[in-house]
Amino acid sequence: MTDDDLEMNFTDLSKFRKKSEVPPYPIVGIVGQQVMKKAILLVASNPALGNIIIIGEAGTGKSAAARGLKDILPEVETINGCDYNCNPKEKSRLCQDCKSSVTELNSSPRRIPLLEVPIGASERRIFGGFDSQSRLKPGYVGQANRGYLLIARANLLDPDVLNRILDISESGIHKSDKKHGDFKHPASFNVIATMNPEDGELDADVLERFSMAMKVQSIRDIEERIEIVRRVEAYRLDPVDFVNRNRREMEAFAQRVKRARDLVNRVDMPKKVEDAISKILQRLGQDNDRARKALLEGALANAAFNDRVWVTIDDVAEVADLVLGHRGKA
C-alpha cells in the first residue's frame, strides 16, 4: 500500500538516477487547501509550535503539501559530517561525536532536514541502534534533528511507536534504554503527520498530543478539479520544468519562512492577548498546558509569518480552529 497523494508514474525518469532525486511537487502548486498550507507554513515558521497532523482522504494533496515543505525550508549552520545536524553554536546540545571530537568542528550552511518515515519502516530504522561493528547508526529521529519528520498514514503506525516518536519530539532528546541499546543524542524535530480516516481512527489521547490538526476535503469545484489535473499532468511530464515555473513563488514563501524563523523569538505577546487566550480556553473547557502552549505558539507563528513583532487577537483567532478543533472537553 502506498499513500496515493500524487504518487504517480512519471513519463520520463531517465534524467534521474533514483526516484528520490525527482524534486517534490511544490507546495505553492497545490490548488486550494489554504488551511492545510497555512498550518505547514506556521510550523515551518515556529518550531516551538510542536507537531501537526493533517487528516483527509487520499488525493487531497496532504502528503504532497508536507513533502513540498522541503524546498522552502531555509539553510542553517550545521557541523560538517555530523549525523544529527548539530548546531555549532549550541554547545550544550551537541551529539556525543561532536562533543568528543579532538579536531576543530567545521560547519557550513545546510538546508533544514525533512525526512519521511516510510510505511512499514522498522523500529530500528526509526530509532537507530548499533550495527554489528558496534557503530551507532542514527534513525530517522536522529537524522531529523533540527528539522521535520513526515509520517504519512500515521494511524497505520503501531501506536506505541507513534507515542515514542512524539515523546522524543517533545523532549528534544532521544534517550534509548538498555533494551534498545543505551545511547543518547539530540533529537529536536517537528512531526508532520498525515492520516486517512478510511484507514481507521487515531486514539483521542494521541490526537490531542498534536498542537494543530486539520481536516482536508477533496476539492469538488469542477474548474479547480480540472486545474489540479492540468498541474499534476504538467508535473508528471517534466517535474524539473514544473518546479522551475513555480520557482519565484516558492522563493517568496522561502523568504517569508526564513524571516519568520529569525523573528519569532522576538515577537511580543501583550498581556491583554494572553488574558484573552486564558478566557477562550476556560470557556471551551480546554484550559490545559498543551492547548495553551499550542495556542500561544500558533499565534506567535502567525504574527512572525506576517512579519510582525507583536501578537494581536486576530492572530489567536486565525489559529484557534487549528489548535482547538480536535480537542475534547476537559
Cβ-based burial of 294 (10 A; exposed 0-12, middle 13-18, buried ≥19): buried
Q: Which of 6, 64, 82, 324 binds Zn ion (CB under 5 A)?
A: 82
Stretch that binds Zn ion, among 94-102, 152-160, 161-169, 298-306 (CB under 5 A): 94-102
Please say which residue, 96 or 244, places its beta carbon nearer to Zn ion. 96
Q: Does 76 bind Zn ion (CB under 5 A)?
A: no
Phi-psi region of 15 (alpha: psi -120 to 50; beta: other; left: phi over 0): alpha
Please say which residue, 53 or 95, places its beta carbon nearer to Zn ion. 95
Q: Which of 64, 69, 98, 219 binds Zn ion (CB under 5 A)?
A: 98
Please say which residue, 26 or 186, places its beta carbon nearer to Zn ion. 186
What are the angstrom distances between the C-alpha of 230 and each of 9, 29, 225, 226, 239? 15, 11, 9, 6, 13
Task: Work out how close the CB of 67 gets to Zn ion at its nearest, in angstroms, rounded to a whole number.
Answer: 26
Stretch that binds Zn ion, among 98-106, 187-195, 247-255, 295-303 (CB under 5 A): 98-106
Q: Which of 36, 54, 86, 228 binds Zn ion (CB under 5 A)?
A: 86
Please say which residue, 84 or 235, places its beta carbon nearer to Zn ion. 84
Task: Work out how close the CB of 175 gets to Zn ion at its nearest, in angstroms, rounded to a whole number.
Answer: 16
Task: Work out how close the CB of 220 gets to Zn ion at its nearest, in angstroms, rounded to a whole number.
Answer: 48
Stretch that binds Zn ion, among 84-92, 136-144, 170-178, 195-203 (CB under 5 A): 84-92
Please say which residue, 82 or 273, places its beta carbon nearer to Zn ion. 82
Task: Work out how close the CB of 98 gets to Zn ion at its nearest, in angstroms, rounded to a whole number.
Answer: 3
Q: Does 144 bind Zn ion (CB under 5 A)?
A: no
Q: Report yes or no: 22 and 197 within 8 Å, Cβ to Cβ.
A: no
Task: Work out how close the CB of 100 gets to Zn ion at its nearest, in angstroms, rounded to a whole number.
Answer: 10
Secondary structure string (H, E, C) spanning the chain? CCCCCCCCCCCCCCCCCCHHHCCCCCHHHCCCCHHHHHHHHHHHHCHHHCCEEEEECCCCCHHHHHHHHHHHCCEEEEECCCCCCCCCCCHHHCCHHHHCCCCCCCEEEEECCEEEECCCCCHHHHHEEECCCCCEEECHHHHCCCEEEEECCHHHCCHHHHHHHHHHHHHCEEEECHHHCCEEEECCEEEEEEECHHHCCCCHHHHCCCCEEEEECCCCCHHHHHHHHHHHHHHHHCHHHHHHHCHHHHHHHHHHHHHHHHHHHHCECCHHHHHHHHHHHHHCCCCCHHHHHHHHHHHHHHHHHCCCCECCHHHHHHHHHHHHCCCCCC
The size of the interface with Zn ion (CB under 5 A), counted in residues, is 5
Task: Work out how close the CB of 82 gets to Zn ion at its nearest, in angstroms, rounded to a whole number.
Answer: 3
Task: Work out how close the CB of 92 gets to Zn ion at its nearest, in angstroms, rounded to a whole number.
Answer: 12
Task: Work out how close the CB of 94 gets to Zn ion at its nearest, in angstroms, rounded to a whole number.
Answer: 5
Task: Work out how close the CB of 288 gets to Zn ion at its nearest, in angstroms, rounded to a whole number.
Answer: 35
Please list every residue from 299 through 318 that binds Zn ion, using CB under 5 A: none
Please say which residue, 52 or 94, places its beta carbon nearer to Zn ion. 94
Contact residues toward Zn ion (CB under 5 A) are 82, 84, 86, 95, 98
